Structure 1
Amino acid sequence: MTTKLFYFHDPMCSWCWGFTPTWSQLQQQLKLEFGTKLETQYVLGGLAPDSDVPMPQELQDTLQQYWKRIHNLLGTTFNFDFWQQCTPRRSTYPACRAVIAASNQGKEIAMIDGLQRAYYLRALNPSDTSTHIQLAEELGLDLDAFHDDIISSETEQELQNQIQLYKELSANGFPSLTLQNNNTLTQIPVDYKNASAMLDLIKQALSPSSQGQNYG
């Protein structure tokens, strides 16, 4: 039986950063409830394509308002020095490729966390290759392999494949969750404050009454 929870995200999505603590709680609860019977798959949605153009001031102001809103709603920490110390670009594909390159060395989740902390806490530009190399070094990756992978056609194809999967299975923005049980897809609404509420929805979707079959 194919049972999988897809987590659609972007490493430069501020709402994903705000969701991180609750997402971690949900993953722990899922592991306790289902063990290895429910697989979690991260999928990069590709928030913004490559661009070397500095972000317009209006958009910078809008994103800073998002940060303030998320902080007020969830208590999430943001370092606003980023907006003075960096030249922001509306370009998340490079960070997505860094995640894929790191995943080739078993460090997908670590790179996602590193990119988020670089952006939101350390005031480092997550669109810059220099940041990706710095994070790869901090994670102890093979830097030559990482550099080759981040610019490879295979990495670009994998990114496009993940973006397409997002469009097919969710396309509800970031973060979003889709549960696959055999051929049945169920959208799980993201609850930024309550992991247990999402767990209950997943359990309900996997229950015999919902699927007409016994789970586990």
Structure 2
Amino acid sequence: MSAPQIFYIHDPMCSWCYAFSQSWAALQRDLPHGIDIIYLVGGLAPDTTEPMPPATQKMVQQAWQRIEQTVPGVHFNWDFWSRNTPIRSTYPACRAVLAAKKQRAEAEPEMIRAIQTAYYQQAKNPSLPETLQACAREIGLDVETFSEDLKSPVIESELQQQIQQARSMDVYSYPSLRLVHNDTVFPIAIDYSDHRTMLDEIRTVESGSGSY
């Protein structure tokens, strides 16, 4: 029997994933022994170089406002909107996470944090390669290798594969959690403020008393 797996399906430029980061860190810390943690990038917005339309900018800004109002301790640097030309493209940031992992497995969560810090706290634009390269440098990656990997067919193939895997688990919004236990996929409800509700749900499934 294979070990249970918890899949965290995310996008590094998803504001709700940023809002979930503290709760997710607490959940990982307290997970029952023997559960493998696997990250999947969901690919929120495909490649484009076009500026983000005003309606989309408004939608994203409303999400930031909702998060600040509902998730304790989460704040955004609103200077992003005046300092940048926003681009609705998260695939480059997703590839950056995969390229980081290719160099060093533990660099995967480090790159996610670096992108979120650059975007949400430092008002930098992670749709741009120079921002992603700065993140790679910051977490100690070989930037030249990282830049090559970012454009490589291998990383593109991995991105598409992870997006498809997320879809096969019926995931269309981020963040999402899926527990795979005894070859069955269980959705775990996201809780932004208390990781213990998710922990209880995981333990219930593990004990075999889940009502799924």
Partner of 2:17: 16
Measure the CA separation in 2 of the matches of 1:210 and 1:167: 23
- Per the normalisation by structure 2, the TM-score is 0.95
Which SS does the other structure have where 1:127 is aligned?
A: coil
Residue in structure 1 matching 2:65, options 42, 63, 68 = 68
Measure the CA separation in 2 of the matches of 1:135 and 1:188: 31
Measure the CA separation in 2 of the matches of 1:20 and 1:170: 22
Measure the CA separation in 2 of the matches of 1:189 and 1:209: 17
Partner of 2:110: 110
Measure the CA separation in 2 of the matches of 1:124 and 1:141: 19
* 1:52 and 2:49 aligned: yes
Give unmatched runs, 5+ long, in structure 1: 212-216
How far did 1:144 drift? 1.7
Is the contact between residue 118 and residue 124 of structure 1 (CA under 8 Å) also seen in structure 2?
Answer: yes
Give unmatched runs, 5+ long, in structure 2: none
Measure the CA separation in 2 of the matches of 1:50 and 1:155: 14
Cα distance 1:65–1:210, how it changes in 2: closer, same or farther (>3 A)? Answer: closer
* 1:90 and 2:91 aligned: no
Measure the CA separation in 1 of the matches of 2:204 and 2:139: 38
Measure the CA separation in 2 of the matches of 1:44 and 1:202: 21
Measure the CA separation in 2 of the matches of 1:61 and 1:81: 15
Is the contact between residue 170 and residue 177 of structure 1 (CA under 8 Å) also seen in structure 2?
Answer: no
Q: What percentage of residue pairs aligned between the two structures are identical? A: 45
Q: Report the number of matched residues.
A: 207
Over residues 190-216 of structure 1, what are the superposed CA-to-partner deviations in whole Å (9 max), with x where a residue is unaligned?
1111100100000000104459xxxxx
- Per the normalisation by structure 1, the TM-score is 0.93
The two structures, once aligned, show a CA RMSD in angstroms of: 1.2
Partner of 1:99: 97
Letter in 2 for 1:175: P
